[in-house]
């Protein structure tokens, strides 16, 4: 039996087996590094926990891929900034005091309930804010 194994496992075959084992070990180490770096980028709170889970071969990596946060931390921050910017832009327009519909800054009446939301300049007929004393478009004094 020993002679048969010695004939089958030649130095070339042994070298190929060693290379295969080395590749598997390298892939395993790289998968651990990937999980740690990806968990940090995705903002996973206990990223060290994912590192521990990834130590379990194949099952840990599979568990991480299934349970990891769906988006990167940078993307979530960008979405939050975009939402804040849109809310800020909408706040410049205002809402109707009667029905709560969004109102553009040059609306004189609400398009939903027909409530007057701004005064109109008697000369140039442009919308004015309630606290303006002079029309900024034509310099007409407002009473």
> What is the Cα–Cα distance from 79 to 56, expressed in whole angstroms?
34
Return the domain boundaries, the chain.
1-70, 92-128
pLDDT digits (tens), the chain, 143 positions: 778 877 888 889 999 999 999 999 999 888 888 888 888 888 887 777 777 777 788 888 888 888 888 888 889 999 999 999 888 776 666 788 888 888 887 788 888 999 888 888 989 988 887 778 899 999 998 87
> What is the Cα–Cα distance from 63 to 65, expressed in whole angstroms?
6
Provide the whole-model pTM. 0.52
């Amino acid at each position: 039996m020993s002679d048969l194994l010695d004939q089958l496992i030649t130095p070339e075959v042994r070298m190929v087996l060693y290379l295969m084992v080395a590749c598997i070990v390298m892939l395993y180490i790289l998968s651990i590094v990937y999980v740690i770096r990806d968990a940090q980028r995705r903002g996973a709170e206990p990223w060290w926990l994912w590192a521990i889970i990834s130590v379990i071969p194949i099952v840990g990596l599979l568990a991480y891929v299934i349970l990891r946060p769906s988006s990167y931390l940078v993307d979530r921050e960008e979405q939050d900034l975009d939402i804040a910017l849109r809310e800020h832009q909408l706040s410049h327009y205002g809402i109707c005091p009667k029905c709560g519909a969004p109102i553009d800054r040059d609306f004189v009446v609400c398009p939903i309930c027909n409530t007057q939301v701004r005064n109109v300049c008697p000369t140039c007929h442009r919308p004015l804010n309630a606290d303006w004393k002079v029309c900024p478009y034509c310099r007409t004094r407002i009473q």
